[in-house]
Amino acid sequence: MKIRRIVATAVAAAVTTPVVLLSAVPAFADTKPGTTQTQDQKTDIEALRRLVTKAQAAYDASVVAEQKAKEAVEALDKADNPLVVAAADAKKAAAEAADAKKTADAKLDAAKKALAELPTDATEEQKTAAQQAVTTAETEATAAKATAEAKAADSAKATDALDDARVAAFRELGKAQETKKKAGQELDAAKKALADALDEEPGDECEVDENLVTSVTGPKKITAGASGVFTFRVTNKGKVELGEVGGYAEAFNMSDDLDKYLHLTWSSATSPKWQAVDEEEGFSSLSSLKPGTSFDFKLKVAVDAKAPAGDGVVVAGGAYVNKDGSCGWAEEGSYAEFGIVKAAKPGKPGSTGGSTSGNGNTTQQGGQSNTPVTNGTSGSTGGTLAKTGAGSSTMPIALAGAAAVALGAGAMVVVRRRKAGADA
């Protein structure tokens, strides 16, 4: 069961005409599962979930291994790497030995030349000295040659060691990349198998819970080209702690195409990064909700600069899923209407420029709780399903109901607007 499948028809219908939206919303109440899956089905799905967990762990490990392999390759290019240092030192020593050999060879050549150029009347002492100079130079040249050859061999050995290390490092990197690729394929296959199984399972029963109450408050006006932040509050008025709470929301312009000019993102204390509302996962508190407490989500509506002046609305629905897999959603959707105003031209007084924030004079459904807000315990910056112990498919099923009541709230706005227009 995918929330995208449930909501897509409603969204498409809403974009076409609000009348279809009114007829579509009741149908969503019938999309929640009505049968109980067999024990064998549960066992198979749990096995697939474990397979996904193992595949994810293997993939994560392969990512770490690939990174280490990359670092090993990069380390062999750093000047302070021992192999790089050894190769550089050996090369320098070989060059110095080669220069010393050249000097010794030149000295030998000079001694031989001096011996050969002795005059015919040279004394025996002069001949002996010249010959001794040649002998000494030959000894030095031989030693210099041996040293140069040894240093050249050391340099070649150090260079080979560095090259071999690089080849080995690149080989390991290639293996790590291949392992990562295979792990990714296995993870994708495991996820697909689980998704297919979840699509086929009847699913868990989710019920409307009158103790789950929601409200939306925010600015009365938003200037085209700016944005406004609304607060979507989910409150537990019951006496039992609820599991992970979440919701689904949409924003549209009632004067034109429903989603052409408005862009909706959400955040919360546990997920402070602004992100788009996921069609399958909606958004989540990542924590439970104790009796008498609330959790706030922020809904930011960015209005395109080309948006015409008119009326807009933010609609939202709440849901929860418990550790045992039971789930529910708020009986009524919440909404807040706002006006879309054009920015005043420069130089003209009376500008309404910028977005107006605050909670004044907004229309609400579901009531406003004054109980303390529970911001949860998770420090995650994402909005994915927390580890409540419930199946990963349960929250999307619950959010399907949240989407239905949210769109139902939107339908109520349309009806009221049309009635107001007819009475004018």
In percent, the amount of the chain with pLDDT more than 90 equals: 51
Where is pLDDT greater, at 7 or 224? 224
Among residues 407, 367, 352, the alpha carbon closest in space to that of 217 is found at 367
Q: What angle do CA 240, 242, 246 make, to 5 degrees?
A: 155
Residues 57-79: what's their mean pLDDT? 95
Average pLDDT over every residue of 347-373: 41
pTM of the shown model: 0.47
Average pLDDT over residues 271-289: 88
Arithmetic mean of pLDDT, 275-283: 84
Most confident among 205-209, 330-334, 338-342, 356-360 (mean pLDDT): 338-342
* Tens-place pLDDT, residues 141-158: 999 999 999 999 999 999
Q: What is the arithmetic mean of pLDDT over 100-108?
A: 95
Lowest mean pLDDT among 203-212, 285-294, 393-402: 393-402
The SS3 assignment for 217 reads strand
Residue-level pLDDT at 21: 37
Q: Stretch 245-258: mean pLDDT, rounded?
A: 78
pLDDT confidence tier of residue 269, bands split at 50, 70 and 90 = very high
Q: How far is residue 393's CA from residue 401's CA, in Å, rounded to a whole number? A: 13
> Cα separations (Å) of 213 from 52, 109, 135, 403?
35, 103, 107, 15
The set of residues, in sequence order, having a beta carbon less than 8 Å from that of 381 and lying 6+ positions away, is 271, 272, 273
User: Residue 214 half-sphere exposure, CB side, CA atoms within 13 Å?
Assistant: 33
Where is pLDDT greater, at 419 or 231? 231
For the segment 42-58, the average pLDDT, to the nearest whole number, is 87
CA distance 47 to 45: 5
> Averaged over 295-303, what is the pLDDT?
96
Of the pLDDT bands very low, low, confident and very high (cuts 50, 70, 90), residue 365 is very low
Q: Is 262 helix (H, G, I), strand (E, B) or coil?
A: strand
What is the side-by-side strand order in the sheet with 262-268?
212-217, 227-236, 294-303, 262-268, 275-276
Nearest to 249 by CA among 281, 226, 219: 281
**Among 70-84, 263-277, 333-347, the least confident range:** 333-347
Instruction: Provide mean pLDDT across the span 61-77.
Output: 95
Give me 229's structure tokens.
């932040």
Q: Is the pLDDT of residue 362 over 50?
A: no
pLDDT band at 413 (very low <50, low <70, confident <90, very high): low
pLDDT tops 90 at residue 199 = no
| Domain 3-36+203-423 classification at class level | mainly beta
pLDDT at 410: 56
Q: What are phi and psi of 420, to 5 degrees?
A: -60, -40
Six-digit token string for 70: 């990359």
Map residue 206 onto helix, strand or coil: strand
Q: What confidence score (pLDDT) does residue 381 get?
A: 33
Number of other residues whose CB lies within 10 A of the CB of residue 241: 13
76 three-state secondary structure: coil
Assign 309 a pLDDT band (cuts: 50, 70, 90): confident
Two tokens at 393? 């498919």
Fold annotation for 64-197: Helix Hairpins (1.10.287)
Q: Which residue has the higher pLDDT, 406 or 47?
A: 47
Q: Average of pLDDT values for 53-79?
A: 95
Q: What is the mean pLDDT of the chain?
A: 78
Residues ≥6 apart with Cβ < 8 Å to 340: 221, 222, 223, 224, 253, 255, 261, 303, 307, 308, 309, 310, 311, 312
Q: Where are the domains of the chain?
A: 3-36+203-423, 64-197
* Mean pLDDT across 319-326: 86
Residue 397 banded pLDDT, cuts 50, 70, 90 = low
Confidence at residue 39, expressed as pLDDT on a 0 to 100 scale: 56
- Is residue 220 over pLDDT 60? yes
